[in-house]
Chains A and B, each alone.
Chain A
Amino acid sequence: MLTILGAYSWINIRFLLEGAWVTILVSVLSIILSYIFGLILGVIRYVQIKYVSAIVGFLIDIIRNLPLILIIFFTYFGLPNIGFKPDPIWASVIAMAVFESAMVAEIVRAGINSIPVGQMEGARSTGMSYWQALRYIILPQAVKNMIPAIVSQFISLVKDTSLATIIVLPDLMNHAQIIYGQNTNYTIPMFLALAVMYFIVCYSLSLLSQYLEHRIGSSKKGADEAEIVAQEAQR
């Protein structure tokens, strides 16, 4: 029993927290990047620029249908073949950002599609240009509908950072593996700690998403629209 409690010594906890810090760092960087690029790509896919939108749409479909692990491997082991060698942290940030932007782009497209055509027509008829209408009328409403879907996408992003241990990203998962690798008695306590730590982060994010959904859905219509966006984005 004492040996098992030893798993939670201060040194081990600090080591785990260092890993958690890397997990959070990588998650936050990828969230910011994928939100920016996802928004841009989603709008490009929506506005139907000749050829460009079709190509972007096809690329998004391809990336969405590949396993994230493959993209991580490709970034870390594949790209050095053409002379670009990122360190593990940047490799995982790049891989996650590429994958998640494709996911977010699809949510953005669904979100814009959920806004009735009349909004655009109305905005145009007041004299706004197409881009002004998109920027000031359509996107603010669309983003409101997208929020719950985007938050749940970010939950899976946080969970997926654990996959980057395979390129020796010193994250939570990796540090736990190092600890139980040195002392096999610590295996179960370490898995427990992992589960609890990931659960706390992801579950509080999912409560946040429910809260936002609730706020938006103070009207039933808002909640329905957000739900439709979430479903549509999966397609």
Chain B
Amino acid sequence: MISIFQNYGGALLYGLGQTLLCSIIALVFALIIGSGFAILEVVPNKFFRVIAKIYIEVFRNIPLLVITMFFYVVIPMYIVEISGFVSGTIGLILYSSAFIAETVRSGIQSVDPGQMEGARSTGLSFWQSMRYIVLPQAFRYVIPPLGNQFINLVKNSSVLAFVAGFDLMYQGNVIASDSLQSMSTYLCVGVLYLILTLPLSYYMRYLEKKLA
């Protein structure tokens, strides 16, 4: 294992960086899109609710790999040339945003409906009460589950290995076939993934205990 780190340390670190980069970009966009659809799911207008519901159910029930491969294979074929990294990240954003939307929605619904009614009765509009009263309270509830979604996102970013996204998993495969030491290479890759996910997972557990 140590020899793998010595010989291929640079490649592994590059992969780690790409994994982290892709996860953070995907998290930011998925958070924006996901929160948007979560709010659409609770607005009074039925049409918007149905649209949000369809979006969420579709992307929750199709494998991430199918979404990612679609952007890797079909989009360059018909529309525009995009790299593996970009198509992987887009797939990751769409897939995660559906899960984040569900998380945020359950956060919004865990806020006492009285809060919304109270805000409305003081003369705030629906959007104002959403923005200033409900969402700030909802986000407090959803921080630990969102952390778990981020951990899932980091793990799911390994799908970039399928589309030549040069992430940690991809580098791992390259190194495994180059060094012919598959087992120790994958152990190294596993250690690097754990460095990203395990502290975050324990921190979220701690945070959840503190908030409860």
Contact = CB atoms under 8 A, between A and B. Distances in A.
A235 B143 CA distance: 12
Contacts of A163: 63, 65, 159
B186 interface: yes
B186 A180 contact: no
A78 B181 CA distance: 8
A160 B65 CA distance: 8
Contacts of A64: 201
A80 B156 CA distance: 25
Interface of B: 57-58, 60-66, 69-70, 73-74, 77, 144-145, 148, 151, 155-159, 161-162, 169, 172-173, 176, 181-183, 185-187, 189-190, 193-194, 197-198, 201-202, 204-205, 208
> Which 5 pairs show the lowest CB-CB distances between chains A and B?
A67-B158, A202-B61, A159-B63, A65-B197, A81-B183
Contacts of A81: 181-183
Interface in A23-78: 61-62, 64-70, 73-74, 77-78
B155 A66 contact: yes
B201 A74 contact: no
Contact of A78 (B63, B183, B202): B183
A22 to B, nearest CB: 15
Interface string A195-210: 1001100110010000
Q: Tell me which of A61, A73, A160, A191 has the highest count of chain B C-beta atoms within 10 A of its own C-beta.
A: A73
Contacts of B65: 162-163, 165, 173
A235 B204 contact: yes
Nearest to A58: B198
Nearest to B177: A77
A166 interface: yes
7 contacts: A65-B197, A74-B182, A78-B183, A81-B182, A191-B66, A191-B70, A195-B66
A94 to B, nearest CB: 14
A66 B61 contact: no
Given A66-B155, A67-B156, 17 more contacts: A65-B155, A65-B194, A66-B193, A67-B157, A67-B158, A69-B158, A70-B186, A70-B193, A73-B169, A73-B172, A78-B183, A160-B63, A162-B65, A173-B63, A180-B73, A194-B62, A199-B62
B205 A235 contact: yes
Nearest to B64: A159
Contacts of A231: 145
B190 A188 contact: no
B198 A199 contact: no
Interface residues of A, number: 41
Interface in A130-172: 155, 159-160, 162-163, 165-166
A13 interface: no
Contacts of B148: 234-235
A166 B161 CA distance: 10
B186 A198 contact: no
A162 B95 CA distance: 15
A73 B181 CA distance: 13
A61 B193 CA distance: 13
A163 B145 CA distance: 25
A165 B208 CA distance: 37
B182 A77 contact: yes
A177 B52 CA distance: 30
Interface in A177-224: 177, 180, 184, 187-188, 191, 194-195, 198-199, 202-203, 206
A177 B68 CA distance: 13
A68 B157 CA distance: 11
Contact of A70 (B62, B63, B144, B172): B172
Q: Tell me which of A82, A155, A166, A235 has the highest count of chain B C-beta atoms within 10 A of its own C-beta.
A: A235
B73 A198 contact: no
Contacts of B204: 235
Contact of B159 (A69, A194, A195): A69
Contact of A67 (B58, B62, B144, B193): B193
Contacts of A67: 155-158, 169, 193
A82 B70 CA distance: 37
